[in-house]
Amino acid sequence: MVKMVRSSRIFSDCVIFSFLMLICFGMTYATESDIFCLRNVKESLTDPYNYLWSWDFNNKTEGFICKFTGVECWHPDENRVLNLKLSNMGLKGQFPRAIQNCSSLTGLDLSINKLSLTIPGDISTLLAFVTSLDLSSNDFSGEIPVSLANCTYLNHITLDQNQLTGQIPAEFSLLPRLKTFSVANNLLTGPVPKFRQNIVTEESYANNSGLCGPPLDPCQAQSSKSNTAVIAGAAVGGVTVSILGIGIGLFFYVRRLPLKKKEEDPEGNKWARSLKGTKAVKVSIFENSVSKMKLSDLMKATGNFSKSNIIGSGRTGTVYKAILDDGTTLMIKRLQQSQHSDKEFMSEMATLGTVKHRNLVPLLGFCQTKKERLLVYKNMPNGVLHDLLHPAEGGSTVEWSLRLKIAIGAAKGLAWLHHSCNPRIIHRNISSKCILLGEDFEPKISDFGLARLMNPIDTHLSTFVNGEFGDFGYVAPEYARTLVATPKGDVYSFGTVLLELVTGERPNRVAKAPETFKGNLVEWVTDLSSNAKLHDAVDESLVGKGVDDEIFQCLKVACKCVGATPKERPSMFEVYQLLRAIGSKYNFTIEDDIMVPIDTGDAGNLEELIVARDGK
């Protein structure tokens, strides 16, 4: 009996040992495979803005790839990729086939990049276990591969705003777990799949003029008899007029060639063609100084929304430069799909149209047609603050007085939104990319009110944390926990902008930090502050020009704004007042239109900051 028990235990131990060995072998293989996967994905893509700078494969610690930008792991100490989120990074190239080596991948988001050519026909072998796929806002062309229907774990498919052609594979209706499916703003044709109820709406197919079938208009079926008659008639007619047609065609070909090239401009935005029958739609205008316009005027002014006229893009939409016949220059923003109904959108526009301030980009009007929503803004001749501070070619420097002027004006605009605007507005997406520069480089905040318009429920701000609304480096740390937008979250984001102005560094990558440092701008400055080396953060081009004291005061205000908890941060009114005091000798500001009663807590914070500023 004892021998039997002992033998049983030995057998059980062997089984457990073998099972553990199999798990360890599988984890080791997954680790090596996933590292190989990410290394090859990075090598296959062009990263013009260096968003993937943190992908350092020289590190061999446990879970090191889990600290890479856009990488989520099954466990922080295990190199197995769960989700890959590389949205809005400007990445170029083809669909990265190396993704197949991320053997545990369940989510892939490559949206809002510049990926092109076709989606691989064997995509089901590359993404065997994926549950969520987002390839929207790229330049993918060709047909949607039928093999995608073999990814039976898919819950969400988003292929919006590409140049996909052909039919949507009917096999997609057989995907057992599919909850959402969207292919809006493509060039698709033919009948749509017969999905289960509530999976798709008309918006899922918007701006694909060739699609038909529920929930869209019925497909126009023709009998075989009528088809035969049409074919026979066409054959006879073709023989009769072919010679005459060729002659006329050759005559007009040469004369119409320049016009044809213009109409078939490969840079043209093909989604705009679907608006052909709605050009007479009027643009609602808020200001009398702007002449009345129709949609046709906007299309003409943007070259039918030509890609060559794109001056910016983000999660809320794409911005086009528009030049009217009278020479007036405007900015037209084409919004991404909104969760608001038409009535709610009209109401929101009516509110935003009344929001006027010297340091806000004026919303001049809007147009709504065929699910398209276009916003008309006054043009800002000096571009975007981000491009001024971080030019693509590098080497540009901006003098301190201009940086301080921009900081004060932007703070004033944001403080007005928080404290004096009715209704008060939390921006939710403050960054150097949404601060535009008007004449004399007067800063003006754009996109105010749009984050709420695109996503009206605060608890949905988990998408903000994942980079869908904001840029990496600007998001306040408490969003990951609370998922609620607050004014102090805007203060944190603005503090990051101040750090950009003082240091000249990007928010997500610090060029002059040691190679071993893998954090963002806020973390780098925080480390320097804790080690009494805060002066090392200042842009070297600003040092020794008689303004060191002003720069350091501004840096301390920025550090207060990016405090770890909301309670540590000042209000935007306090930030504006502090910056205004620092730049008092320059006479940047005119009338002060922000009247905010300061309660005891705010007064205490303000007094503390003034003491820190004056060094008393």
Write the pLDDT tens digit of every residue in 337-396.
665 677 777 877 888 888 889 999 988 888 887 677 888 888 898 989 998 998 876 656
Beta carbons of 414 and 358 less than 8 angstroms apart:
no
Q: Does residue 566 share a domain with residue 429?
A: yes
Q: Does residue 440 share a domain with residue 371?
A: no
Q: Name the helix (H) or strand (E) containing 81.
A: strand 78-85
Number of H helices, E strands in the chain: 15, 20
Query: What CATH number corresponds to the domain at position 448?
Result: 1.10.510.10
**Percent above pLDDT 70 for the chain:** 74
Q: Does residue 167 share a domain with residue 73?
A: yes
Does 291 map to a domain?
yes
Asked whether the predicted pLDDT for residue 29 surpasses 50, the reply is no
Query: What CATH number corresponds to the domain at position 302?
Result: 3.30.200.20
Does 516 map to a domain?
yes
User: In 105-141, which positions are buried (b, 16+ CB within 10 angstroms) versus exposed (e)?
Assistant: bbbbbbbbbbbeeebbeebbebbeebbbbbbbbbebe
Query: What CATH number corresponds to the domain at position 63?
Result: 3.80.10.10
Does 253 map to a domain?
no
Q: Is 73 helix (H, G, I), strand (E, B) or coil?
A: strand
Boundary-marking domain end, from 180, 197, 212: 212
Q: Which two tokens stand for residue 501?
A: 């102005």
Residues present in the chain in total: 616
Q: What would the pLDDT profile of 141-183 be if each residue is shown by its tens digit?
A: 999 999 898 888 898 999 998 999 999 998 898 888 898 899 9
Q: Which two tokens stand for residue 434?
A: 């949404």
Does 604 map to a domain?
no
Confidence (pLDDT) at 454: 56
Whole-number CA gyration radius for the chain: 29
Q: Does residue 528 share a domain with residue 441?
A: yes
Q: Does residue 374 share a domain with residue 419?
A: no
Confidence (pLDDT) at 8: 47
Q: Does residue 348 share a domain with residue 285?
A: yes
Does 8 map to a domain?
no
Beta carbons of 104 and 71 less than 8 angstroms apart:
no
Average pLDDT taken over every residue of the chain: 77
Does 482 map to a domain?
yes
Q: Does residue 416 share a domain with residue 354?
A: no
How many Å apart are CA 132 and CA 109, to the nearest integer? 8
Q: Does residue 331 share a domain with residue 208?
A: no
How many Å apart are CA 489 and CA 10, to the nearest integer? 60
Between residues 503 and 604, which one has the greater pLDDT?
A: 503
Boundary-marking domain end, from 177, 212, 247: 212
Beta carbons of 132 and 107 less than 8 angstroms apart:
yes
Q: What would the pLDDT profile of 394-420 be if each residue is shown by its tens digit?
A: 656 899 999 999 999 999 999 999 998
Beta carbons of 444 and 380 less than 8 angstroms apart:
yes
Q: Does residue 407 share a domain with residue 533?
A: yes
Q: Which two tokens stand for residue 157?
A: 């498919």
Asked whether the predicted pLDDT for residue 238 surpasses 70, the reply is no
Q: Does residue 189 share a domain with residue 54?
A: yes
Domain that holds residue 526: 383-583
Confidence (pLDDT) at 577: 93
Per-residue pLDDT band at 247 (split at 50, 70, 90): very low
- Beta-carbon contacts of 211 under 8 Å, excluding residues fewer than 6 positions away, are 168, 188, 189, 190, 191, 192, 205
Q: Does residue 412 share a domain with residue 358?
A: no
Does 12 map to a domain?
no
Q: What would the pLDDT profile of 578-593 be if each residue is shown by its tens digit?
A: 999 999 888 876 665 5
The total domain count for the chain is 3
Mean pLDDT across the stretch 20-31? 42
Q: What would the pLDDT profile of 478-528 be if each residue is shown by its tens digit?
A: 877 777 888 999 999 999 999 999 999 999 888 888 878 878 999 999 998
Q: What would the pLDDT profile of 90-139 be if each residue is shown by its tens digit?
A: 899 999 998 988 888 889 999 989 999 999 989 988 888 899 999 998 99
Does 230 map to a domain?
no
Mean pLDDT across the stretch 311-316? 71
Q: Does residue 392 share a domain with residue 354?
A: no
Long-range (24+ apart) CB contacts under 8 A made by 187-194 are: 187/163, 187/270, 188/144, 188/164, 189/165, 190/166, 190/219, 191/167, 191/219, 192/168, 192/216, 193/168, 193/169, 194/170
Boundary-marking domain end, from 324, 359, 378: 378
How many Å apart are CA 593 and CA 435, to the nearest integer? 20
Q: CB 473: neighbour CB atoms within 10 A?
A: 22
Asked whether the predicted pLDDT for residue 551 surpasses 90, the reply is yes
Q: Is 14 exposed, middle or buried (0-12, 13-18, 19+ CB in 10 A)?
A: exposed
